[in-house]
Amino acid sequence: MNILVLGSKGQLGTALSKLFLKENIKFKGFDLPEFNIIDKNVLTSTSEKIKPDIIINACAFTDVYRAETEFDKAMEINGISLKYLVYLCNIKDIFLCHISTDYVFDGYKTKPYLEEDTTNPINCYGLTKDVGEKIIQNYCQHYAIVRTAALYGDNKNRTENIVDKIITSARSNKSISLVEDEFTSPTYTNDLAYQIYLIIKNDLQGIIHSTSEGKCNWVEFGKYIFQLLKLNVEIENVKSRNFSKSLKKPLYSVLENTRLKTSKINFMPHWKQSIKKYLIDKKYIF
């Protein structure tokens, strides 16, 4: 097994790199500035140099707000660039594991989305990710599209994730605003990295949902974090439309890990277990 990780400095890429080092799995990771997924020459030379039999594509334009104003750039990274990546994978017989998102759905359901549910993105970020999925589905010979949600974890760029931001805000303010009407399954990148390893190891292909078990809104998520940290913080419940302003977000984007369960390789813990593990790993709690 020889793996090429694209987007190795991001949250998931960092977790994958740590896991592969620990498990002594042969891999190489690339990211900006030395690697750019939209540069065909760099992509070709990297592939020829590493000669991977598996590529994990964790590259993405993930800023959902900027995607509204920088749509062309977001589409180039999340969608159009995958045409050449798929072409390379096909001619070199490389298995492609592509990371996608719950935002390909509109959030109008009231029960968890299944892998076979029809996508219907309601913002520009979701649209670009949906286009990327369709390119892979229609043209890639061997692939897994792993949809996940609300990721948090370490990254090599040392930027704060959603959990760190909530904690920082809570420690410096008497109150914090959290959204009460968006329901999702916050997912720890260390858990997702190991689940991806199991997907690859078991040669599971097609569309696969992989998030923490259970669901919560951001108020519930914040309350549980503060409970674990023993922080006394007042939470102001706000609506998504007021918090996100002009950006539309799916209000219910909970994913069901159906294929992982039927394949008997579902590793994903409940979101409460995962956030507690993250806080311990980061030494927020002992």
- 19-26 CB contacts, 8 Å cutoff, 24+ apart: 19/190, 19/193, 19/194, 19/197, 20/197, 23/197, 25/1, 25/197, 26/1, 26/2
Helix axis angle for 271-281 and 218-229, nearest 10°, is 40
Read off the amino acid at residue 51: K
Q: What is the pLDDT of residue 99?
A: 98
Q: What is the pLDDT of residue 158?
A: 78
The residue written with tokens 């692939």 in the block is 143
Q: What is the pLDDT of residue 284?
A: 94
Domain positions in the chain are 2-159+186-213+255-269
Q: What is the pLDDT of residue 101?
A: 98
Q: What is the pLDDT of residue 246?
A: 81
pLDDT digits (tens, 9 = 90+) for 194-252: 999 999 999 999 999 999 999 999 999 999 999 999 999 999 999 999 888 789 999 99
Phi/psi of residue 93, each to 5°? 55, 50
Spell out, as residue ranges, where the chain has pLDDT lower than 70: none
* Mean model confidence pLDDT for the chain: 96
3 state SS for the chain: CEEEEECCCCHHHHHHHHHHHHCCCEEEEECCCCCCCCCHHHHHHHHHHHCCCEEEECCCCCCCCHHHHCHHHHHHHHHHCHHHHHHHHHHCCCEEEEEEEHHHCCCCCCCCECCCCCCCCCCHHHHHHHHHHHHHHHHCCCEEEEEECCEECCCCCCCCCHHHHHHHHHHHCCEEEEECCCEECCEEHHHHHHHHHHHHHCCCCEEEECCCECCEEHHHHHHHHHHHHCCCCEEEEECHHHHCCCCCCCCECCECCHHHHHCCCCCCCEHHHHHHHHHHHCCCCC
pTM: 0.96
Instruction: Find out if CATH 3.40.50.720 is the number for domain 2-159+186-213+255-269.
Output: yes
